[in-house]
Amino acid sequence: MFEHVLSVIIFLPILAGLLLLATPASRTIARFTGLITSLAVLVLSIDLYAGFKATGYLEFVENIPWVESLGVSYFLGVDGISLFILMAGSVLLPMVYFIFATKEKGYYANLLIVQGAMAGAVCAADMVLFYIFWEVMLLPVFFMLGLYGGPKRLPATLKITLYTIAGSLLMLAAIIYLGVSYHAQFNEWSFAMDKMAQLNLSGRVAAIAFFGFMIAFAIKIPLFPFHTWLPDAYTEAPTAATFVLSAIMAKIGVYGVIRFVVPVFDLEFARFAILLAYSGVIGMMYCGLAAITQKDFKRMLAFSSASHMGVIALGVFCMNLQALTGSIYQIVAHATSTGVLFLFAGILEERTNTRTIEDLGGIAAKAPVFAVYFAIAMLASVGLPGTSGFIGEFMIILGAIKFNTVIGVLAGTTLIIGVCYMLWMFQRVFFENSTARSENFKDLSLIEGLAFLPVIILIIVMGIYPHPFLSKITPSTALQFSQPQAIVSHAPATNAQDFGLTIEQK
């Protein structure tokens, strides 16, 4: 285990991607560079995972001063929360290079850059560094969507770009506000995340800064009512971009809430948690209902993904250990199941040239392996016991009931909607009579089957034996809840008392 392993995980893909863009490499070279780079990152990540000691604090820390006059530093580290998002990215992304063999050079190069940038955003322990990676990870998606997307890609590209940039620039103002407050309170410049928890924030400006962060993350997750960019972007994006957006990038939004909002703005968070939890539940219901009526299966998966992100976000807003741990677990579970489902949708679209559910049918008879894989991923996505989805959802619902019975019951019952649209879609696409388009459907090739196999196995293992994963998550989530207590105790007494929704009265 060497010292700068996180830097290598971040910058190896970025440099490989930039190199590909700068040279006139052919498609094959680009694909193999991407494949080798992402496999190298996977090996490093597994090594990292094995060396992770689950102390709850940041491990593999790298801290180099950067802008010393403002206390900005190149500060990296992983804890139990970020580790799993990092791992999800490293495990899932190599699959894309196996499955999509004939894309353009820019496709693979952008994919590499986005992989590095996402790893950077997850590992960054300095707020300015986090912001830089957060913005950088949007650019490859912008180019992939605009260059290789579907026919209506331009409006979708503009929508997602302007939406997310608007959110993140507001977050920049909030980040700077935190840094300046830290300077004012401790007479020292710093943007390190772990120091921000000591801040003593109160008043209207703190609430505004809280929403500055919250809106940026809500757009990325996306949380109701900031989800309107999602259906267009997910549907028009090329499969790999949709996969990246849904499987990992959306999770970084949730990660941001856990990392920034919960420890720093504990008072505001406590005050608005119920509001946020309701918006999570409404998002679940609304997107679930919207998914039922979709005629396009990619768009249906987009809405289903948004609905599941509502569950994950809800877990964070419930402010207890079970729900938060469940959220992290569900992040990995959802990344594997929905990510794979989007890849399957891409295969389906490539081989049948359609995305309309009605045009398809009887695929199970033509392609049994594909159908079985699809079924496993789908069942994990709806949370069948024995798959990874069940553990996370169970813990989230448990925590939600502890937090607020109404929300818990609403969340629990809404999960049924997920089963409705998924199974109905499965029935129409995979069973029934085959149509003209699905008649010559080829099953997965051996390479494709083997590429998907580890993830399918992971889905089942995570569903049956969650302990090794949970034991790495729990110390960090437990630490999240031990910190705020100390801060609440030295927070001004006036603020500690009005935990309700009192902001309107002021």
Partner 1 sequence: MTNDLMLLMPLIIVGAGAILLMIAATYDKFTHELAAFGSAGIFAFAFLVQLASCISGNVALFSEAFNGLLVVSSFSKAAGLIILACGFFTAMSSLSYFKQNSFCSSEYYSLTAFAASGMLLLTMAQELISVFIALEIMSLAIYILVGYDRKNVISTEAVLKYLMLGAFAGAFFTMGSAFVYGAVGSTKFVKIGQFLAANGFLQSSLMIGGAFFILVAFLFKAAAFPFHAWVVDVYDGASVPVTGYMATGLKTAIFAVFANFLVLDDTLHKGWINYLFYIAVFTMFVGNLIAIGQQSLKRMLAASGIVHSGYLLIALVAVSTTEFTGSVIAYYLAAYAASTLGIFTALSYLGGSGEARKTFEDFKGLAKKRPYSAAAISIFLLSMAGIPPTAGFMGKFYIITSAIDAGQVTLAVLGIVSSIISMWYYLRLIINMYFHEAEEQFNEPVLSSFAPVCTFILVICVFAISLYPIVV
- Kindly list the residues in this chain that would bind partner 1 in the complex (CB under 8 A): 21, 66-67, 69-70, 128, 131-132, 135-136, 139, 143, 146-147, 153-154, 157-158, 161-162, 165-166, 169-170, 172-173, 176-177, 179-180, 183, 205
Q: Is 348 within 8 Å of 418 (Cβ atoms)?
A: no
DSSP-assigned letter for residue 152: T
Cis check: omega of the bond before 222, within 30 degrees of 0: yes
Q: How far is the CB of 40 from partner 1 (least distance, A)?
A: 23
72-78 vs 59-67, strand pairing mode? antiparallel
Determine the straight-line distance between the first and last CA of the chain, rounded to whole angstroms. 54
Q: How far is the CB of 430 from partner 1 (least distance, A)?
A: 35
Residue with smaller CB distance to partner 1, 130 or 469: 130
Cis check: omega of the bond before 468, within 30 degrees of 0: no
Residue with smaller CB distance to partner 1, 208 or 369: 208
Residue with smaller CB distance to partner 1, 175 or 347: 175
Percent helix, strand, coil in the chain, to 5, is 75, 5, 20
Q: How far is the CB of 168 from partner 1 (least distance, A)?
A: 10
Q: How far is the CB of 432 from partner 1 (least distance, A)?
A: 39
Structure token pair of residue 90:
């490293």
Q: How far is the CB of 265 from partner 1 (least distance, A)?
A: 16
Residue with smaller CB distance to partner 1, 144 or 455: 144
Residue with smaller CB distance to partner 1, 63 or 435: 63
Q: How far is the CB of 133 from partner 1 (least distance, A)?
A: 8
Q: How far is the CB of 455 from partner 1 (least distance, A)?
A: 32
DSSP string, 43-90: HHHHHHHHH----SS-EEEEEEEEEGGGTEEEEEEE-HHHHHHHHHHH
Structure token pair of residue 182:
């830290």
Q: Which of 456, 407, 406, 378 is nearest to 91 (CA)?
A: 456
> CA-based Rg of the chain, rounded to a whole angstrom?
22
Residue with smaller CB distance to partner 1, 61 or 176: 176
Q: Which of 380, 240, 377, 222 is nearest to 231 (CA)?
A: 222
Q: How far is the CB of 166 from partner 1 (least distance, A)?
A: 5
Q: Is 407 within 8 Å of 281 (Cβ atoms)?
A: yes
Cα–Cα distance measured from residue 414 to residue 420, given in angstroms and rounded to the nearest whole number: 10
Residues 6+ apart with CB under 8 A from 89: 115, 118, 119, 122, 247, 248
Q: Which of 437, 312, 301 is nearest to 374 (CA)?
A: 301
Residue with smaller CB distance to partner 1, 67 or 453: 67
Q: How far is the CB of 174 from partner 1 (least distance, A)?
A: 10
Residue with smaller CB distance to partner 1, 139 or 491: 139
Residue with smaller CB distance to partner 1, 139 or 365: 139
